[in-house]
Amino acid sequence: MAIASVVLAALLSIVGVTSLNVDQVPGRDSLRLSSASRALTTSVDRLPRDGWSSQRGESLGGGEIQADIDALDDAQYHVKIGVYSNSTYDLDLSIPSFSSNGYVWMRWKQPLQDYLEANNTDLQEHISLLNALLSDADPVLHPVQDKPAILSDGTYYQLYTYVGRFYIDRASFRHFPFLTISLPIAIEADDVAGGLGYGTLRFEPDSRNSGMGLYAGTGIIGWLNRGWSIAEYRHNYATNFGLGGLDRDYSLILYDITFGTSSWSSFWRLMLPLLVVMVMVLLVFKIRPDEQDARAGIPVTVLLTLVFLQQVYRGELPDLPFLTFLDQVYVIAYVVTLFAFVLLVWIGRRYADMESMPLGEARDNLSKRLEFLDEVWPLSMVLFCSIAVVTSWYLIPAGA
């Protein structure tokens, strides 16, 4: 009856939580990787072993590629944009966000300059840092020169500095503690009126001269740099901003630096303590059966330790709507610990019954069954945990 009650309570809990759970409504905006030249690895055979890619959104396919190439050639205005990050620092996964400073430069030709002069504006007034966060100082582009310089080929050139705090949109939180994170800076045309939409103004990344400085790749202690990328995207807003017509599209340059945690460091820091604690649970049945108090006390101590260890690492993460890989490992550990405690209580009752039984075959058979449980427990739990952990890792959604 006790077992039936526990199973019924578990089923009711699952039904109740499922009925209260809500589905996330996806945003309607979309990003599509354009056909412009880029410094971005998109080939599957060149991706890292964990499949991580800095690409956002979908790639163009089929006839879309040629159509986008033609649109790039036909665009009235072109701006070549380069980004060079001097430093990245103050990474905060609880928001998640990071701080950065560096340089942005732009080159454009006479037609765009005529448009700017006709509207009595500067180019920076039509540029926004899309993922900038509000802080003590609003991140903006600050021109180094008062006016754009005219280069020998007749193009206009302006160098800007930037400093600010930026939102992080991509991180492999599901793989935590084996984490990869992208630190992006998104530069987009800011022209709601539609005069500088995707069909008119196109950004082209200066992949040859962009990059990261001395403190950009090593500025975040404890993280390993995995390189940088820069590419142009087509940002589709699911609105026309009340001006009528079709939804608005704008050209967007996305520059990012990718960092990852050391797998060995993550293992020694977060996985090893859990492994040691679970070994204690596996070996609890090796304690002499007549020391039942010591046997039953170990799972309780382990349970409290598991709760403490989980709270420590969860403090590093934002409130996530899913379980990370390490969360799933802890769920397995909780299940094994609970099962060990229940089994110890049951075995303890059987040993108490055995003491009141007369000597004979029945008592010998019960003693052998209890000894068999003591022997098979460690091996069976190691097998169960191994299969459960490997399954949890491979069930992580692709691209998460």
The torsion defined by the Cα of 342, 343, 349 and 352, in degrees rounded to 10, comes to -140
Three-state DSSP class for residue 282:
helix
Query: What pLDDT score does 160 carry?
Result: 94
Query: What pLDDT score does 31 carry?
Result: 87
Query: Rg of the chain's alpha carbons, rounded to an integer?
Result: 30
Looking at the fold, whether 218 and 86 belong to one and the same domain comes out as yes
Of the CA atoms within 13 Å of residue 266, those in its CB half-sphere come to 15
Whether 64 is covered by a domain: the verdict is yes
β-strands 211-215, 77-92: how paired?
Answer: parallel
Give the residue numbers spanning the domain of 145: 30-260
Looking at the fold, whether 228 and 338 belong to one and the same domain comes out as no
Query: What pLDDT score does 360 carry?
Result: 67
Looking at the fold, whether 205 and 279 belong to one and the same domain comes out as no
Looking at the fold, whether 253 and 332 belong to one and the same domain comes out as no
Looking at the fold, whether 273 and 231 belong to one and the same domain comes out as no
**Domain boundary at 208, 230, 260, which?**
260
Looking at the fold, whether 103 and 155 belong to one and the same domain comes out as yes
Q: What is the pTM of this model?
A: 0.82
Question: Which tokens sit at 231?
Answer: 């590419």
Looking at the fold, whether 101 and 220 belong to one and the same domain comes out as yes
With beta carbons less than 8 A apart as the criterion, state whether 278 and 212 touch. Answer: no
Give me the CATH number covering residue 193: 2.70.170.10
Cis peptide before 397 (omega within 30 of 0): no
Cis peptide before 205 (omega within 30 of 0): no
Which secondary structure element, helix H or strand E, spans residue 251, and what is its range?
strand 249-260
With beta carbons less than 8 A apart as the criterion, state whether 325 and 175 touch. Answer: yes
DSSP letter at 109 equals: -
C-alpha 130/C-alpha 113 separation (Å) is: 23
Query: What pLDDT score does 119 carry?
Result: 86
Looking at the fold, whether 271 and 199 belong to one and the same domain comes out as no
Looking at the fold, whether 318 and 256 belong to one and the same domain comes out as no
Looking at the fold, whether 152 and 129 belong to one and the same domain comes out as yes
Count of structural domains within the chain: 2
Which own/partner pairs from 388-397 qualify as long-range (CB within 8 Å, at least 24 positions apart)?
388/332, 389/328, 389/329, 389/332, 392/325, 392/328, 392/329, 392/332, 393/325, 396/174, 396/175, 396/325, 397/174
Query: What pLDDT score does 137 carry?
Result: 59
Whether 13 is covered by a domain: the verdict is no
pLDDT (tens place) for every residue of the chain, 400 residues total: 766 776 777 777 777 766 766 666 667 788 888 888 888 876 666 667 667 888 888 888 778 888 888 888 888 999 999 999 999 998 988 888 999 999 999 999 999 999 888 888 888 888 889 898 876 556 678 899 888 999 999 999 999 999 989 999 888 888 999 889 999 999 998 887 667 888 899 999 999 999 998 888 777 888 888 889 999 999 988 877 777 666 788 999 999 999 988 888 889 989 999 999 888 888 777 777 666 667 778 888 888 999 999 998 888 888 888 899 999 999 999 998 888 888 877 777 776 666 666 666 676 676 777 777 777 787 888 899 899 999 999 888 876 6
Whether 400 is covered by a domain: the verdict is no
Query: What pLDDT score does 354 carry?
Result: 66
Whether 110 is covered by a domain: the verdict is yes
C-alpha 100/C-alpha 319 separation (Å) is: 24
Q: Write down the H helix ranges in the chain.
A: 2-20, 63-74, 110-118, 263-266, 272-282, 292-314, 325-355, 361-394
